[in-house]
Structure formats: C-alpha cells, structure tokens
Amino acid sequence: MSTVHNTYFRYQPLVLNEDSDDDMRSTVSSSLFSASGDVDMSSATSYSIASNRSDSPAPSFVSLTPSMEAAAFKIEYGRGINSASDVYSLPADDEELDRLDRQHLLFIEVMGKYPRTIRQVLTPAFPGDTKNVLDLGCGSGSWIMQIARDFPSCDAVAVDLVPMQSTAMPFNCRSEVDDINLGLQHFYDDFDFVHARLISSGIKDFPALIHEIARTLKPGGLLELMEFDFHAYDRKFQQIVAPIETIDRPWWPRWLAFAEMAVNQRGGTPDAANHLERWVRTHGAFEEVAYQDHWIPTAPWSRSEPWKHWGDEMREDIYAFMASGRPLLLGIGVPESLVDELEEKATEELRGARQVTYIRLQRVIARKRHGWIAPEILLEQEEARRQQEQEQQQEAFQSLTI
C-alpha cells in the first residue's frame, strides 16, 4: 500500500515567535491534494431540494411541504434541530446553513476544492458512462452542489438528517434524508467519490462508517474525509489544555472542552480527527492513503495575508458556531449562566485577537483497492460453499443408500 503522510499547506503556515510574525514552517506536499487552480473557483451558496431515500444515484426531486418540515425539525432553546437523531444536536436552521455556506468558501480558499485526482476519477470512461458522487452529512449542500456544477456529467447525491430546499438545485443533484449511523446498504457499489467532512459529532461509530463507505465505493473510487478534534492549538501548534473543571481563561479553548464533553455524552465521536488516517490506512480496503493537516488561525492576529483574512473569516465562523452550540451545551445540563459566560468571554477573547490560536483540520484521501472484498461477504461466500458441500455430500450419501 502506498501511503503519504504529510503536513501540507497551499500557503505555508505562519508561526509567530517573540520578535516576528513572518516565520514559516517547512512543508511537504502530496500530488493527491489540490491547488486552487485545478477546477474553476466559482462558488455555490445555496442548498438542496429534499427527496426521499432511494435505491440508486438517479436524480429525483420532492418539494418540502409544511408537514414534512414540521416532522423533520424540532425547536430546542430557540434553534431548529433535526428530529431524526439523538446524537447530532447542532442546529439545521437558516442561521446554521448560512454559517456552513460561508465556511465552505473559506475552505476553498485554504485548501482548494477537490483532490488532484478528481478529474481522473470523475471523467466518463466512454460515452454514456455516469460517475456518481456521494456527500455524507452534507449540511447546507454547498459542497455537493459545487461538484455537481463543476462536473455536470456526474450524478451527485447528498445525505443528511434534514431535508434541504433550494431553487438553485443543479439538474444532476439530489438530496436524501437519512441517518447514516444506520448503514449505507442501499448505496453499496454505487459511487466513484465519497466525501464527508465535520460530521464526527453525529457519528456513533466512525470506524464502522468508514467500512460502510468502503462498501459504497466502486473499485478505484475516491474517499475524502476531514474532521477537527474540538481543540484549539497555540503558536507552536501544541494543543491547548483547558479542562472543564476550571472556569477561567483561555475561554475559546474552554468552550471547546465543554462542546467536546457534550458531543461525547450524546454518543458522537469528537476525537475522530486524531484517528482518521489510522482507521483508513489499517482498514484494508484502501490504498494511496494521504494525510494532510490544515491550520487555520482563529482570529486576524497576523499582519500577513492571506492569514489575516482567514483569521477574520474563521473568527466569524466561530462566533456563529458558539451560538449554534448553545442547544448542545444546554441539552446536557450545562447551566445557562455558564454557557453565557463561556460564549461572551470567548467572543471577547477572539475579538481582541491577542492570543495566537489555530484550528486544526485533519484530512485523509484514499482510493479503494481493486479486488478488495468485504470480510462479511467472504464469510457469506464461505458459508454458502460449506452449505453447498454439505448438500452435495448428503445427495451423494442418499444416492449410495438407495
């Protein structure tokens, strides 16, 4: 198996010392990761029309009626939350979807749109050949609609806990409502590219999800996963420890510690980012595994571009993320007065932009091996072979006793 392990930036990461903000960390790049010019950089900021769960990647469209909307959402602590899962409790309302749309554009600036191998994977092999793309936990739908527009010959499927609505839905894209914790059996062997990012807070068993993704991919298909670990990092890229037993600065890392606790209590996997590469590399279905870190400043403390701009955008994202996280914290019993204090002081801390902190995004890209067969299929085949042998032996015995 070919494995690439690197720390890669389209721009080198800014490292501050006591005297300068111009120091740079040396990096290594991988051919699997994209540069900004690989595909047209136009953006999508709307989200998708809902459809029911179906058996194939063929497009289908269903309008969201008031009764469907009422069944899909519940109001908790003033925010619209999905009704389908007790694990994932971040909102799915317009405010959160707007945050995800802006976040999508930031991610394009930081890391480009797609893996470098995207054209190889999604270019039709012959006239009429349709390539299929799956986005798990699609959020606002920005990513899936982007790829549907960039590759109009593909069929694109988005899956999330709540239905989505958009009059700008690409003709080759659809949205399905489903809890991916329940499995992806109806998608087995259908897809050329499977994408999932920032979904760990709603996933009960991430290694099991990776196995399900392997089952959905065609041989040679492309996997892309990205998560963050609910921690902030300092100027030396070391994790900032801020236990919940102490209520004091640093406030933004402290808020994250409470969010991590809440996700754990609800059954999510907040530390999935730190295990993604190992889970994919040791699974057995994948090859050409590549790992990548992205360090994004959490405030515009740098005087250098694009870091100052990225810090400003990420800070706005964090403000909205903390507001979205209120139902998560309140729902596990954190007192409202403490939630208010954490959010207010973290906001003040980030607004001052005096402390150098980063968010670490961990990204894994891999290809599915040709010839890989899921262990459960091998067991079924072995059981069928044994059953056939027993039947043949029984028939032979009966023929001898007649």
DSSP string, 266-312: TT--TTGGGGHHHHHHTTSSEEEEEEEEEEEESS---SSTTHHHHHH
Range of the domain at 192: 3-371
Q: Is residue 39 part of a domain?
A: yes
Average pLDDT over residues 384-389: 81
* Total number of domains in the chain: 1
Residue 28 inside a domain? The answer is yes
320 vs 38: CA distance, rounded Å: 30
pLDDT-derived band of residue 33, with 50, 70 and 90 as boundaries? Answer: low
Is 392 among the domain residues?
Answer: no
What secondary structure does DSSP assign to 92-144, as a single string?
Answer: -SHHHHHHHHHHHHHHHHHH-SS-TTHHHHHS-SSTT---EEEEES-TTSHHH
Considering only CA atoms, give the Rg of the chain. 23
Quickly list H helices, 112-250: 118-122, 142-150, 206-216
- Give me the phi and psi of 156, to 5 degrees please: -115, 130
The pLDDT value recorded for residue 385 is 82
End-to-end CA distance of the chain: 56
Has residue 251 been placed in a domain?
A: yes
Q: Is residue 184 part of a domain?
A: yes
For residue 378, is it within any domain? no
Which H or E run includes 229?
A: strand 217-233
Return the minimum-mean-pLDDT range out of 181-190, 192-201, 352-361, 392-401. 392-401
Inside any domain, residue 356: yes
Between 333 and 69, residue with greater pLDDT: 333
What's the maximum distance between 2 C-alpha atoms anywhere in the chain? 97
Instruction: Kindly report the pTM of this predicted structure.
Output: 0.84
Q: Is residue 335 part of a domain?
A: yes
Average confidence score pLDDT of the chain: 85
**What whole-number distance in Å separates Cα of residue 386 and Cα of residue 392?**
10
User: In this structure, what CATH number is given to the domain that contains residue 89?
Assistant: 3.40.50.150
